[in-house]
Amino acid sequence: MVEEMVKQSEQLYELAAEEIEVCLRVKGAGGRYELWHRLRPPTLEDWRAYERDLRSTVEVSESEPDALRFNSATLEAAGALYDRLFRGARGYRAGDAPDVITAERIPLHHKELAVRALTDVGPSSHSEAGHSAAEEDSTEPLLFSVDTGGVDVALEASRNGVSYAGLVHTFRAPSAADRVEYSRVTSQALYVRNSHTLKTILPSRLPGLVALYDRLIVEVRGYAAAGAPLNDRAAVVRQMDPLHKKVAVQVLFGE
């Protein structure tokens, strides 16, 4: 069993951190453990390699012909990513040397939990994108705006046990061509020729979603690089966390 340790922060979300610390509070048969993992921030290439390592496929189940089976090497992909990012860990003991441990000695399921913590970003549950609390609580449907001005997407994320709300991404309104591109990126599939189970490979969506983000983003709020607010669009494109780009674009297009 793993406990979350998250507290609310009004600070800016730092994009140029030298290291990320992930704390896992684990309860086991032997007692309670507090396990700290020091990782370097993952790059776009790290996440692309992670998605490739997932080797996600869909195929017809041989035992249940009317069912589809989804396959993904989640643990293996997380373990490989963890090993690339590993800088240190404490809370473990190997022989008579506590806190001196290599990535190879970390249990695979702990690696997967630490990597999962790096992906803790999603749509905001607060009204940070311009909607009043009254609008959000109303049972009446809202009017859908067809204005071509900026569109705000609000996210929230956790890092190092701290929760960050008010992470706002302002996009230009997507054009019809942008929506066609989004549909193309999210519906890609590769069919394996001569596969009797109709095996389909699901390629990584991350590069296409990041490209859409870079094309549409105007500005962000709630982020910093080296302690300074991220105000320059070019800096946003260059330094924004790839997973934040992915989630923001998915929210923008209604996923």
pTM here is 0.78
Helices and strands, counts by H and E, the chain: 8, 18
Contact between 222 and 166 under an 8 Å Cβ cutoff? The reply is yes
Contacts of 133 (CB under 8 A, 6+ apart): 127
Q: What is the pLDDT of residue 134?
A: 46
Q: What pLDDT digit, counting tens, does each position of 84-127 carry?
A: 999 999 999 877 666 578 999 999 999 999 999 999 999 987 65
Residue 199 CA to residue 192 CA, distance in Å, equals: 6
Q: What is the pLDDT of residue 65?
A: 66
Res. 130: pLDDT tops 60? no
Q: What is the pLDDT of residue 132?
A: 44
Res. 128: pLDDT tops 60? no
Using CB atoms within 10 Å of the CB of residue 111, give its burial: 0 to 12 exposed, 13 to 18 middle, 19+ buried: buried
Res. 131: pLDDT tops 60? no
Chain center to CA of 248:
10
